């Protein structure tokens, strides 16, 4: 039986570090306020106009391909997850294919925000198991910084998000290791609780030009923070337990949990609910903030570099985000 296995991991983050003290100079906030509510100490924000979402994804992909020990032309499909594409169209996946200078493989863009990477991983898993492809590149890349409201009005959102990219190569494997299951969910009735509303097909260029709204309402991300938090902790726990139940496992069987890096308080709450030790939960939001679709592969690579995973370990990935969407993946390493 063919299984799909993560055979290589890579990431890229911009060099520009923005500390909480830098944010203090932009808006009415403090290092203490940010740390207490999010756990974030610093994040990376692009300060190079030439650095695009697809280019960061390219750097992460090159590292993942090298880590997998394959040639770039062994890649036979691309899945690119992002909420911040280079253009409205075409998607960033085809730009990645162009940047890598590889053969004319298919490229699919996924728009599921914080859950996007696991959604992409699930799609890759199905393609591999069907025998259609052998090596799929799954990428999450985001540039949030240019679209954030850095005025005092936007502090509840802008302090959270960072820029970065992560990538994995998912390969066919006949051995014991591989993805055990993935689980995907959505609840669109809460779509506007965490969203970027404009521009939109109901508010296009002509209306933007005519818009006299001087405060820019609708053009930056908005979030009902408390409502999102309450839903996140509920859905995280549900979808992790769903994955464990599917494979007849329990929380104590998890070797390492890598949650989407949305908020350190969410991760700590889930850790407590599952009764997991600190050594079994990996967080790096302190350094990078919330990089949405990129957060899990970035954290995965750092966890591997720190030797947090060994052969045979049970790895659980979980995410919750805008949509609302939430997802999990259980992997035997």
* All domains in the chain, ordered by first residue: 3-175 (3.40.47.10), 180-332 (3.40.47.10)
Helix H or strand E segment including 63: helix 53-68
- Please classify residue 192 by burial: count the beta carbons closer than 10 Å to its beta carbon, then call 0-12 exposed, 13-18 middle and 19+ buried: exposed
HSE toward the beta carbon, residue 114, CA cutoff 13 A: 28
**Could you give the CA distance from residue 258 to residue 271 in angstroms, rounded to a whole number?**
10
Q: Catalytic residue among 112, 231, 263, 290, which?
A: 290
- CA nearest neighbour of 81 among 102, 48, 56: 56
User: Is 183 a residue of the active site?
Assistant: no
User: Is 316 a residue of the active site?
Assistant: no
Q: What is the pLDDT of residue 214?
A: 57
User: Is 135 a residue of the active site?
Assistant: no
Helix H or strand E segment including 128: helix 116-130
φ, ψ at 214 (rounded to 5°): -75, -20
Helix H or strand E segment including 67: helix 53-68
Q: Catalytic residue among 260, 263, 284, 316, which?
A: 260
**How far is the CA of 18 from the CAs of 42, 48, 155, 217, in angstroms?**
6, 14, 14, 25
Query: Per the structure block, which two tokens stand in for 51?
Result: 């650095």
Q: Catalytic residue among 20, 112, 114, 263, which?
A: 114
Mapping DSSP onto H, E and C, the string for 2-50 reads: CEEEEEEEEEECCCCEEEHHHHHCCCCCCHHHHHHHHCCCEEECCCCCC
Query: Per the structure block, which two tokens stand in for 148?
Result: 């954030």
**Could you give the CA distance from residue 296 to residue 38 in angstroms, rounded to a whole number?**
17
**pLDDT tens, per residue, the chain with 333 residues:** 899 999 999 999 999 999 999 999 988 899 999 999 999 999 999 999 899 999 999 999 999 999 999 999 999 999 999 999 999 999 999 999 999 999 999 999 999 999 999 999 999 999 999 999 999 999 999 999 999 988 888 888 999 999 999 999 999 999 999 999 999 999 999 999 999 888 888 888 788 777 766 566 678 888 998 999 999 999 999 999 999 999 999 999 999 999 999 999 999 999 999 999 999 999 999 999 999 999 999 999 999 999 999 999 999 999 999 999 999 999 999
Q: What is the pLDDT of residue 201?
A: 84
């Amino acid at each position: 039986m063919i299984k799909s296995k993560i055979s290589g991991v890579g990431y890229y983050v911009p060099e520009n570090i923005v500390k909480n003290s830098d944010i203090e100079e932009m808006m009415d906030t403090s290092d203490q306020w940010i740390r207490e509510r999010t756990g974030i100490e610093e994040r990376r924000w692009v300060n190079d106009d030439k650095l695009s979402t697809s280019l960061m994804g390219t750097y992460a992909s090159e590292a993942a391909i090298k880590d997998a020990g394959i040639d770039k032309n062994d890649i036979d499909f691309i899945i690119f997850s992002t909420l911040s594409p280079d253009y409205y169209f075409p998607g960033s996946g085809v730009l990645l294919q162009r940047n890598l200078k590889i053969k004319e493989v298919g490229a699919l863009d996924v728009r599921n925000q914080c859950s996007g990477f696991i959604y992409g991983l699930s799609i890759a898993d199905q393609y591999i198991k069907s025998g259609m492809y052998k090596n799929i590149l799954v990428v999450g890349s985001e540039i949030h910084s240019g679209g954030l409201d850095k005025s005092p009005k936007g502090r509840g959102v802008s302090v959270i998000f960072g820029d970065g990219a992560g990538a994995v190569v998912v390969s066919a494997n006949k051995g014991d290791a591989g993805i055990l299951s993935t689980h995907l969910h959505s609840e669109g009735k809460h779509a506007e609780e965490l969203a970027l509303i404009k521009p939109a097909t109901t508010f296009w260029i002509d209306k933007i030009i005519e818009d006299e709204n001087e405060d820019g309402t609708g053009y930056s991300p908005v979030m009902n923070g408390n409502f999102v938090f309450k839903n996140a902790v509920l859905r995280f726990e549900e979808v992790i337990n769903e994955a464990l139940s599917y494979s007849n496992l329990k929380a104590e069987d998890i070797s390492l949990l890598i949650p989407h890096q949305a908020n350190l308080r969410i991760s700590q709450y889930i850790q407590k609910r599952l009764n997991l030790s600190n050594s079994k939960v990996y967080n790096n939001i302190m350094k990078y903030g919330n990089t949405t679709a990129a957060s899990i592969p970035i954290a995965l690579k750092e966890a591997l570099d720190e030797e947090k995973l060994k052969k045979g370990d049970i790895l659980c990935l979980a995410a919750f985000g805008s949509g609302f969407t939430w997802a999990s993946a259980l992997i035997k390493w």
